[in-house]
């Protein structure tokens, strides 16, 4: 099924023509509403009239997460505050979260795009759909929620946590679809097994998974254990939230809602645009956004684009599986974590030395983060008659990490010089999850 056949099945020429018109409009809009972009465009001697077709995009400046941080909280917002009806936030490396304000129209576009994703997965009226992404500042919960309502299916705002209660609801309500992180889906399957609830006792048949990388093997495992079809759902809060791209019945690569989010692939080093088929950094320009439109936003996700015809009938361009990041960001339980965030917490503690190791693992299908940190020689030299000061220190570090990262980390205090030092570039992160 296709939610919006006009937009999702447009000919490539019509799409490019539409994108060109919308691109001109958004550049004109930010030129007159966002001093940040006006200054940038003026410095490059570009006026909105120079941007007429989609090919003109290469003339435009890039936007990075750092730009959002530097202009915290509302510096890149184009719409007046009186037009903003919702504000989301995602974690930032320096303690400054990224703030995204949405107008009523933005929420409408988001809901429409999300309804397209859900329809593509085979969800429709009469379905009962459980949203097990976190509700709150994170865009996952509310983003999918509004899409389900727009679609006309019944939404169960389960959010995360209390998995046993969730299993009961799935079973008792006859829930047919679910959205969550792929690792939570496996955790859910495990909880069901522990509770003695078999997959046949539920009516689950479809799942939308995203917010963290996952493999084909995980897909197979989720499909087998929950008895469902599992689809990829991609998005990022800076651009909108979940809804940017979605898999179709082909379950192979994700269609981009490119009438709203114009994708490009660029070389992450030279920033030169790369043709379809070549792998590079994914860049998005929001074509219709009012709250915080962004020009050429660098996602840091590495992927490639393809516009070969799809068996589902959609003509929109598809992005392949994300193969990595062009920065050092980790995605743990759906939350973005930068090693530099951990470092800034550790450096703020006089007991800690700037020597640490992050170990990311997956236990019982849930991501775990362990932070090993060496204490300073002066602290260590005072000696310890009991282990209490060390466990207290671990608790203190853990609490601070939790408040900055929004996820729990296990902290292990180490003796000075006990963490392995590698030759040359020190290794700060060990990711044992094997999700590539």
Partner 1 sequence: MTIHQLSVFIENKSGTLVKVLKLLKEEGIQLIASTIADTAEYGICRIICSQPSKAFEVLKAAGIAVTLTEVFAVELDDVPGRAADAIEIFANEGISIAYLYSFLLGGKGVLIFRTDNAEKAREVIVSRGLTVVPEKDLSKLL
Token duo for residue 177 = 């679809």
Q: What span, in angstroms and rounded, lies between the C-alpha atoms of 412 and 332?
A: 18
The angle subtended at Cα 62 by Cα 75 and Cα 104, nearest 5°, is 50
- Whole-angstrom distance, CA of residue 93 vs CA of residue 99: 13
**DSSP H stretches of helix in 139-283:** 139-151, 163-173, 182-195, 216-226
Residue 218 CB, nearest approach to partner 1 (Å): 29
In DSSP notation, 293-362 reads --SSEEEEEEE-EE----TTS--S-EE----EESS--EEETTEEE-HHHHHHHHHTSTTEEEEEEEEEEE
Identity of the residue, 171 or 414, whose beta carbon is nearer to partner 1 in the bound complex: 414
Q: Could you tell me the smallest distance in angstroms from the CB atom of residue 384 to partner 1?
A: 5
Q: Which is nearer to partner 1, 16 or 410 (CB)?
A: 410
Quick one: tokens of 58?
């290469």
Q: Which two tokens stand for residue 339?
A: 């090693």
CB of 408 to partner 1, least distance (A): 17
Using the Cα atoms of residue 78, residue 79, residue 80 and residue 81 in order, give the sign of their dihedral.
negative
Q: Which is nearer to partner 1, 327 or 361 (CB)?
A: 361
Q: Which helix (H) or strand (E) holds 230?
A: strand 229-236
Of 276 and 384, CB closest to partner 1: 384
Q: Which pair of tokens denotes residue 271? A: 């920033």
Cβ contact 192:185 at 8 Å? no
Nearest to partner 1 of 264, 374 (CB atom) = 374
Query: Judged by CB, which is closer to partner 1: 388, or 434?
Result: 388
Q: Give me the least distance between CB of 51 and partner 1, in Å please.
A: 58
Is 86 or 414 the residue whose CB approaches partner 1 more closely?
414
Q: Is 425 exposed, middle or buried (0-12, 13-18, 19+ CB in 10 A)?
A: exposed
Minimum distance between the CB of residue 417 and partner 1, rounded to whole angstroms?
9
| Rounded least distance, CB 434 to partner 1, Å | 24
CB of 412 to partner 1, least distance (A): 5
285 Cβ neighbours under 8 A, 6+ residues apart:
23, 26, 57, 60, 261, 262, 264, 294, 295, 296, 297
Between 112 and 374, CB nearer to partner 1:
374
**Shortest CA distance to 371 belongs to which of 402, 331, 334, 336?**
402
Choose between 157 and 416: whose C-beta lies nearer to partner 1.
Answer: 416
Backbone angles phi, psi at 141, to 5 degrees: -60, -60
Smaller CB separation from partner 1, 377 or 432? 377
Q: How far is the CB of 392 from partner 1 (least distance, A)?
A: 13
The residue (of 76 and 373) whose beta carbon lies closer to partner 1 is 373
Q: How far is CA 317 from the centre of its chain?
A: 20
- Residues in touch with partner 1 (CB under 8 A): 380-387, 390-391, 412-415, 418
Place of tokens 């599986």: 321
Smallest distance from partner 1 to CB 375, Å: 9
Rg of the chain, C-alpha, whole Å: 23
Least Å from the CB of residue 383 to partner 1: 3
Least gap, CB of 389 to partner 1 (angstroms): 10
């Amino acid at each position: 099924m296709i939610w919006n056949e006009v937009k999702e099945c447009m000919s490539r020429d019509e799409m490019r023509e539409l994108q060109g018109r919308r691109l001109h409009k958004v550049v004109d809009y930010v030129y007159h509403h966002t001093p940040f972009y006006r200054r940038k465009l003026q410095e490059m001697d570009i006026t909105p009239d120079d941007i007429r077709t989609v090919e003109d995009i290469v003339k435009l400046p890039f936007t990075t997460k750092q730009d959002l941080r530097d202009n915290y909280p509302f510096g890149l917002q184009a719409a007046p505050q009186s037009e903003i009806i919702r504000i989301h936030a995602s974690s930032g490396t320096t303690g400054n979260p990224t703030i995204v304000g949405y107008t009523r129209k933005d929420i409408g576009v988001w809901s429409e795009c999300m309804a397209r994703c859900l329809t593509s997965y085979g969800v429709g009226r009469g379905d009962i759909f459980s949203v097990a992404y976190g509700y709150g500042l994170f865009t996952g919960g509310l983003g999918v929620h509004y899409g389900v309502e727009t679609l006309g299916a019944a939404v169960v705002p389960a959010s995360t946590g209390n998995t046993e209660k969730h299993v009961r609801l799935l079973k008792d309500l006859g829930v047919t679809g679910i959205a969550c992180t792929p690792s939570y889906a496996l955790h859910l399957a495990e909880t069901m097994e522990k509770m003695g609830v078999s997959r046949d006792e539920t009516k689950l048949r479809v799942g939308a998974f995203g917010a963290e990388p996952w493999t084909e093997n995980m897909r197979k495992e989720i499909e087998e254990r929950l008895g469902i079809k599992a689809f990829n759902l991609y998005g990022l809060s800076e651009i909108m939230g979940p809804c940017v791209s979605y898999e179709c019945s082909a379950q192979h690569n994700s269609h981009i809602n490119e009438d709203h989010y114009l994708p490009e692939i660029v070389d992450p080093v030279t920033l030169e645009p790369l043709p379809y088929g070549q792998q590079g950094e994914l860049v998005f320009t929001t074509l219709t956004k009012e709250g915080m439109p962004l020009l050429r936003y660098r996602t840091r996700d590495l992927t490639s684009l393809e516009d070969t015809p799809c068996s589902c009938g959609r003509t929109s361009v598809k992005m392949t599986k994300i193969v990595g990041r062009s920065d050092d960001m980790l995605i743990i339980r759906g939350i973005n974590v930068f090693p530099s965030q951990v470092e800034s917490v550790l450096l703020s503690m006089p007991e800690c030395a700037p020597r640490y190791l992050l170990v990311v693992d997956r236990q019982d299908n849930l991501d775990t983060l362990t932070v090993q940190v060496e204490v300073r020689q002066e602290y260590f030299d005072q000696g310890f008659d009991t282990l209490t000061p060390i466990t207290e220190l671990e608790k203190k570090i853990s609490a601070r990490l939790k408040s900055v990262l929004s996820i729990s980390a296990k902290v292990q205090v180490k003796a000075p010089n006990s963490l392995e030092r590698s030759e040359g570039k020190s290794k700060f992160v060990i990711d044992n999850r094997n999700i590539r």
